[in-house]
Structure 1
Amino acid sequence: MSIPARILAFTGLALSACFPSVLVGENPLATDGPESSTGLESSTGPEPSTGAPTSGDPGTGEPSEAVCGDGVVDGDEACDDGNDEPNDGCGVNCTRTGEVAWTVEGAGWIEGFATGPDGTIYLCTFGVVNEPAFVRAFTPDGTELWSSSAPHPGEIAVSPTGQIFLANPVTGIHTFNPDGALVATWDPFPDVGIFGLAAADDALYVGTGDPEIEGQLVVHRLDLATGEPVWEAHTPEGITTIPEQLVIAGDRLLVPGYLFNDEGRRSMLAAFDRGTGEMLSLELADPAAPAWSSLAVFGDGDLALAGRGLEPDGLLVRRLTADLEEAWTDFTPYGTGTSPRPEKVAAGPQGHVAVVGYDAGDNDSAIVRLLDGEGATLWSSRFASPQDNERDGADGVAFGPDYLVVGGSISTEDEGGHVTSQWWLRRFVID
């Protein structure tokens, strides 16, 4: 995993350390004082009406005009809680938004995000000058359990037994026990780019490129106890693959992304047998040739995919059955001043789908969107900043039994071109 593109858009790097803090029932990135330290606010559309509430014309019997903020749900308002707090489930324009239960913050940005079988949240953070990377563990209520320095930043995976793995192409694969102690380092394929990591109860799966054949995708199975290679599988030569993630789905390994062959750009959902490494399929037929950014698996074996369409451009969310048949698709076209880019998708226990990323058409604002099991949007939050020198985005997402946890980073450039970054972790309420 590389430095987020939103941070690379700035030049220079000068990050100062700070301690994580938990903010409850406030603007997600606000300080304890009356003003926000970042100027961020959640927004989902145009400003609310500023006209005075009316009770109708007694002479004509005309109904009252809907006024957002009067505490009465009228007209096409989805909600009206009578306040202008944007993160309490009802936005400033009376549309449904995510209700933020708490936010934890720290210096740097998120390089890895994962959750364990018991709901523990794990982050790999990096980006503070003269400080190493850290692997951090949090309880579902936002309490930090521990932080452990890591040799280098990278993607995180957690096994069903709680063993933690961090992968970096320079320093190898580092294993931590559930208490955060570094117990081993493996280096089975040095200096090869790593795009995906997935841990099962008996194996660690790693997705890399081929050092000899440009564009070829390789999936490796490693022994979970020793890190020794068990097998490796390759996609065919002559096809350029752009993989995004490696996901365990029952007895298969799935890799979303896109590819280029003799017919041009095609949608990719590569599938491999977990036991043998045999490649089962490569393309996912779709005339729009979407570039899939992320994939998640439901408990019944169905799949949730998020990505970007090609013709027309826009954000795609799709649910597939276990045999890769389309159940539904939700499409949000790019418009004037809005260009939502998905980063990660998660599948919830009640059939919910959550998509997170950033809106590139609004100064790189973090976006979080929740859909129900039929593909209808339940709520959407956009954490917008009025400052041109700020970039924000969400990079990780996971469900709990009745909540959603999202991780992201915000970076700020000063007048001298130096960049400071801050990672954040938020819990949203699902009712």
Structure 2
Amino acid sequence: MNHFEYIDGVLHAEGVSIPEMADKVGTPFFCYSTATLERHYKVYADAFEGLDATVCFAVKANSNQAVLKTLGNLGAGADVVSVGEMRRALRAGIDPAKIIFSGVGKADAEMREALEADIAQINVESIPELVELNRVAIEMGKKARIALRINPHVDAKTHEKIATGKAENKFGIDWTRAIEVYRDAAAMDGIEVTGIAMHIGSQLTDLTPFREAFTRLAGLVEQLRSEGIHIRNLDLGGGLGIAYQGETPPLPDAYGQMVRETVGHLGCHITLEPGRLIAGNAGIMVSRVMYIKDGEAKRFVILDAAMNDLIRPTLYSAYHEIIPVEEQGEEDVQATVDVVGPVCETGDTFGKDRKLPDDLKAGDLVAVMSAGAYGAVMSSTYNTRALTPEVLVKGNNFAIVRPRQEIDQLINMDQIPAWLGNE
């Protein structure tokens, strides 16, 4: 469920009309619904009621500080994969004791800053990283609380670019070496082993891979405990999917019950790291039609948004529903069109063979749905296109939570060396 719906024939975000925002903000822009963020968080968190669990929002899905603060006010922590994301979470007021630092490659400076901030846990993904973190922690006179991210060799049955739990993926320490590496970690002076981390992929629509992975994880916990290595934290990652195109992913309640059945008996604190599930359907991208181009084989709807604004269709062949901001009736004629952007790439396409109003024209607004996760965070300035603004709606009010970047600001980031002259 989301809070984007037609009211009197016009698409609204909660109580604010999309055309009203477009007139004041310009297009394209991302729009997030507070009510949807809050509802998705609460439904997910409630699924783990009775367990010792912390929901740490995956900041990589949507790193806007207004979004982070909205979730932090509800009790969410943060799963971060860079020092920049950690700083965003801290500035948004998220408790360091609820911040987990993941990621396959952490620089020394990032390790030091995480240790200084005294965050809850650093998830270590390789033996060289473990050795380096131990060195840094000893040098700082600290103990690094860590979980090893274990790759369980489980196929998540998702897109190859967002699968993370198979043997050929770059993530984590191989399942077959887990015991050996935990023994080494437990003997290090700068390391405090606290848990196990696991994340097998994103946009999963079946609980079977989760169940397989978590069952393996439970066996590993019991084996480590038998060797005197006390595991008290389990980081189960995220990955539960949303409906982009008719998918029927499991409900959070079913996921929560599966977690209870597989690891609930271990008495561990459980960390969960949803991202897309919370933010995906809580956001849209609004764009204005620039031109309608009738080619010999296709009709093209050319938007003022482009692949630099929302790259998921180009990068993953991802599907996003595209709807007109003005509601259409059942009797209105529709045309089959390709919805594209103005960037000089064939891949700059939001959707092929889509049904949109036959009378859609330049100046009309469309909404690209389910764009709240991996939308603005993955945007770029390709073609020297300025970064797109973000807007947060709450009830009948809205606020710009990231202003539109000016093109001159972007250009002025370049510096001409003296030997080229300064004319």
Shared fold, TM over 0.5: no
More helix by share: 2
Greater relative contact order: 1 or 2 (C-alpha under 8 angstroms, separation 6 or more)?
Answer: 2
Q: Which has the higher strand share?
A: 1
Taking structure 1 as the reference length, the TM-score comes to 0.28
TM-score, structure 2 length as denominator? 0.28
